[in-house]
Structure 1
Amino acid sequence: MAASVDPLVVGRVIGDVVDMFIPSVSMSVYFGSKHVTNGCDIKPSIAVNPPKLTLTGNMDNLYTLVMTDPDAPSPSEPSMREWIHWVVVDIPGGTNPFRGKEIVPYTGPKPPVGIHRFIFVLFEQKGPMGPVEQPESRGNFNTRKFAKDMDLGLPVATVYFNAQKEPATRRR
Structure 2
Amino acid sequence: MGRSIEPLAVEKVIGDVVDWFVSEAKLTVQFGSKQVSNGCKIKPSLAADRPLVRVLAPSNNATNLYTLVMVDPDAPSPSEPTFREWLHWIVVDIPEGSDATQGKEVVSYMGPNPGRGIHRYVFVVFRQRGGSLVGVETCLEEERANFNTRHFASKHALALPVAAVYFNSQRQPKPRRSR
User: Shorter-normalised TM-score: what interval?
Assistant: over 0.9
> C-alpha separation between the residues in 1 aligned to 2:23 and 2:100?
18
Q: Aligned match of 1:123 in 120, 123, 126?
A: 126
Percent sequence identity over aligned pairs: 56
Distance apart, 1:74 and its partner CA: 0.7
Distance apart, 1:2 and its partner CA: 6.5
Q: Aligned match of 1:153 in 130, 153, 159?
A: 159
Q: Is the 8 A contact 2:54 2:97 kept in 1?
A: yes
> C-alpha separation between the residues in 2 aligned to 1:103 and 1:3?
28
1:167 equivalenced with 2:173 (yes/no): yes
> C-alpha separation between the residues in 1 aligned to 2:18 and 2:99?
22
Match of 1:14 in 2: 14
Q: Is the 8 A contact 2:3 2:24 kept in 1?
A: no
> C-alpha separation between the residues in 2 aligned to 1:162 and 1:94?
26
TM-score by length of 1: 0.97
Q: Aligned match of 2:138 in 109, 131, 134?
A: 134
Match of 2:99 in 1: 96
List gaps (5 residues or longer) in structure 1: none
Deviation sequence 1:5-58 (CA, Å, 0-9, x none): 100000100000000000101111110111100011000000000001122132
Please identify runs of 4+ aligned residues in structure 1 that moved more than 4 A: none
List gaps (5 residues or longer) in structure 2: none
Q: Which residue identity is paired with 1:171?
A: R
TM-score by length of 2: 0.93
Deviation sequence 1:117-142 (CA, Å, 0-9, x none): 00000000011113112224100000
> C-alpha separation between the residues in 2 aligned to 1:50 and 1:3?
24
Q: Is the 8 A contact 2:3 2:23 kept in 1?
A: no
